Amino acid sequence: MQMTGNTILITGGGTGIGRALAEAFLALGNQVIIAGRRKDVLDATTAANPGMHSAILDMERGDAITHFANDVKEKYPSLNVVIHNAGIMRPEALRDGAVDTAEATIATNFLGPIRLTTALLPLLEKQARAAIMTVSSGLAFVPLAATPTYSATKAAIHSYTQSLRWQLKDTSVEVLELVPPYVQTELMGAGQASDPRAMPLKEFIDEVMGILANSNAVTEILVDRVKPLRFSENSGKYSEMFDMINTHI
């Protein structure tokens, strides 16, 4: 992925990993558009980062994604990078008989990126160089039982990304997958942002940007801290990793 001269759309760009990526790419001279549900959050982020743009997007709604994509294509015809960062992570008690959380999680985390990719792909394919980056999780490879649908959607995104990469291999569109470990954000509440077990956000972003800048053929962006989860099956330590993350929460 080229690091400069891009027009980059980042969903879920107002907070956490999305905001940190947006700021890092903006600092390199890229045009950056952040999208999310909360206007106040987007406004605060763009106010702190002159030159950054924003747009409202609810990834849970297919009609909203269609309208948003049409608007983006009109306003930013040079768009050549899409980073699918938006996501929700909520605990579920699978014996309580409710599926509301599961449905919202699937719509936002899995259907949302599929819908947005489908809508924007014709524009991306017109660019000389383009990239789609999905954001999965270490939990795609070893699930957290307390958040079963979140973990499942990240496993699905990993699989979808591999197929997308294969189908676009003869186009100008590069397909990347960012696989975060447990990072100090507010994805599951304010306490996560200061949890000493989580990777500091700045440290995570610095390592990610270094990988992108120095690895020409990278397809999966793996910081060192996520590798035990990503390769747990290969190393024969899957059961050990599963027990560890599900008994120490």
Give the residue numbers marked as catalytic. Answer: 150
Cα–Cα distance, 114 to 22 (Å, whole number): 21
**Confidence (pLDDT) at 69:** 97
Per-residue tokens: 79: 């768009």
**Confidence (pLDDT) at 217:** 79
User: Do 18 and 85 touch, CB atoms closer than 8 A?
Assistant: yes
Cα–Cα distance, 211 to 42 (Å, whole number): 27
Percent with pLDDT over 70 in the chain: 99
pLDDT 10s digits, 142-157: 999 999 999 999 999 9
Cα–Cα distance, 130 to 74 (Å, whole number): 17
Cα–Cα distance, 166 to 38 (Å, whole number): 34
Read off the DSSP letter of residue 32.
E
3-state secondary structure of 72: helix
pLDDT 10s digits, 89-139: 999 999 999 999 999 999 999 999 999 999 999 999 999 999 999 999 999
For helices 112-126 and 148-167, give the axis angle rounded to 10 degrees.
20
Q: Which CATH class is domain 7-247?
A: alpha beta
Residue-by-residue DSSP string for 109-172: IIIHHHHHHHHHHHHHHHSSSEEEEEE--GGGTS--TTSHHHHHHHHHHHHHHHHHHHHTTTSS
3-state secondary structure of 75: helix
Cα–Cα distance, 41 to 37 (Å, whole number): 9
**Confidence (pLDDT) at 96:** 94
Tell me the pLDDT band of 249, cut-offs 50, 70 and 90.
low
Q: What is the residue extent of each domain of the chain?
A: 7-247
**Confidence (pLDDT) at 216:** 78
**Confidence (pLDDT) at 241:** 96
Q: In this predicted structure, which of 17-21, 93-97, 129-133, 220-224 has the lowest mean pLDDT?
A: 93-97
Q: State yes or no: pLDDT of 40 exceeds 80.
A: yes
The overall average pLDDT reported for the chain is 96
